[in-house]
Amino acid sequence: MEDIVISAVDLRKSYGDTVALDGLDLSVHRGEVFGLVGPNGAGKTTTIDCIAGMRRPDSGSLSTLGLDPVGDSRELHTRVGLQQQESELPERMKVGESLRLFSSLFGVEEPGMGLLEKVGLGKKLDACFSDLSGGQKRRLFVALAMVHDPELVMLDELTSGLDPRGRRDLWSLVDGIRGSGRTVVLSTHYMDEAQKLCDRVAIVHGGRVVALDTPDALVREHCPGMRLILGCGQGFEPGDALEVEGVLGACMQGDTCVMDLRDAGVVVPVIQALSGAGASLGDLHTEVPTLEDVFMVVTGREYGETDE
């Protein structure tokens, strides 16, 4: 289909005895921000490297922008921008010099200050690479990945290791790239990042895509309902909560009762029923399931466990 810019079917890749991709399937639509999410070792970086023509898969079918990433690598590299997880430049190289270098490598005219301003480095033209903060270095590598005006931008663990401010700055940058009409593939082990930025996400586990949809649709499918955390006092029996229709589970944590509810409409009946039963109600708050909860459901594992 014309709007499919990436198609992978039964993609496999091993490094010796280590299986990185084990029959991975996915498709990416033109103009979307697509997330590859999962813990370190899940196969996200290998997937991006194969899509960008940096690695050759052992088997399977793969098409990027209608091209064979291996056989058509020369043409593909002129249409894809890649920010890799581990990237460095000479310490004394200036920001402007790096733009000139990458422009010459791609055979394009130097983009000038406009690109630097878009990534928030407009005042750093003469700054040395070693003088940039971690977040500024990541933004520079995004700029370098875009000097040739690519159709597809691949961002591998863009915000890994950054502080909250640095992560938010780069989230704004991704939103700006989205607004330019480009297709973005973003790999991340931060589930909150994927939930905020991505139109669709593929949860990768053990080298396979185990779930793929919009973040909201994944939560609705795999983790319907919500959680109610309610102070009920010492001696409260969680079985009293289970008698209320729509309460799917309940347990005590100290003097707090944690209840899994069918939906938000159950909250008021629960409070009324427990209050009427004489429970000493205290603080109350609710939690909506997230992609981390989805990951635990579809993999049966705590999020954060490595796959390799």
**C-alpha–C-alpha distance, residues 71 and 76, integer Å:** 9
DSSP at 289 = -
Q: What is the mean pLDDT of residues 101-115?
A: 87
**Which of 91-95, 255-259, 299-303 is most confident?**
91-95
Is residue 203 within 8 Å of residue 209, measured between CB atoms?
yes
For residue 47, what is the enclosing H or E element? helix 44-51
pLDDT, one tens digit per residue, over 75-87 is 999 999 999 887 8
Dist CA 136 CA 233 (whole Å):
50
Task: Look at residue 307 and tell me whether its pLDDT is greater than 60.
Answer: no
Of the chain, the percentage scoring pLDDT greater than 70 comes to 97
**Cα-only R_g, the chain:** 24
Residue-level pLDDT at 226:
86
Q: What is the mean pLDDT of residues 32-42?
A: 92
> What SS3 state is found at 98?
helix
With pLDDT > 90 as the criterion, what percentage of the chain qualifies?
50
CA distance 50 to 308: 19
Ranges of each domain in the chain: 4-214, 225-288
* pLDDT surpassing 60 at residue 46: yes
Per CATH, the number for 225-288 is 3.30.70.100
Residue 29: strand pairing partners: 4
Q: What is the pLDDT of residue 301?
A: 64
Q: Looking at residue 2, what is its pLDDT? A: 65
CATH topology (fold) of 4-214: Rossmann fold (3.40.50)
CA neighbor of 258 nearest in space, from 290, 303, 225, 291? 225
**Cα–Cα dist 31/223, whole Å:** 28
Q: Is the pLDDT of residue 43 over 70?
A: yes
226 and 300 in contact (C-beta within 8 Å)? no
- pLDDT tens digits for 209-238? 999 999 999 998 888 888 888 888 777 888
- 243-270 mean pLDDT: 87
Q: State the angle between helix axes of 164-179 and 134-145 in degrees (0 to 180), rounded to the nearest 10.
A: 20
- When pLDDT is averaged across residues 131-160 and rounded to a whole number, the result is 91
Least confident of 43-57, 114-128, 166-180: 166-180
pLDDT band (50, 70, 90) for residue 162? confident
Give 277-290 pLDDT, tens digit per residue: 777 788 888 888 88
Give the predicted TM-score (pTM) of the model: 0.85
pLDDT at 1 over 80: no
pLDDT surpassing 50 at residue 308: no
- Dist. CA 155–CA 161, nearest whole Å: 15
Residue 66 has pLDDT above 70, yes or no: yes
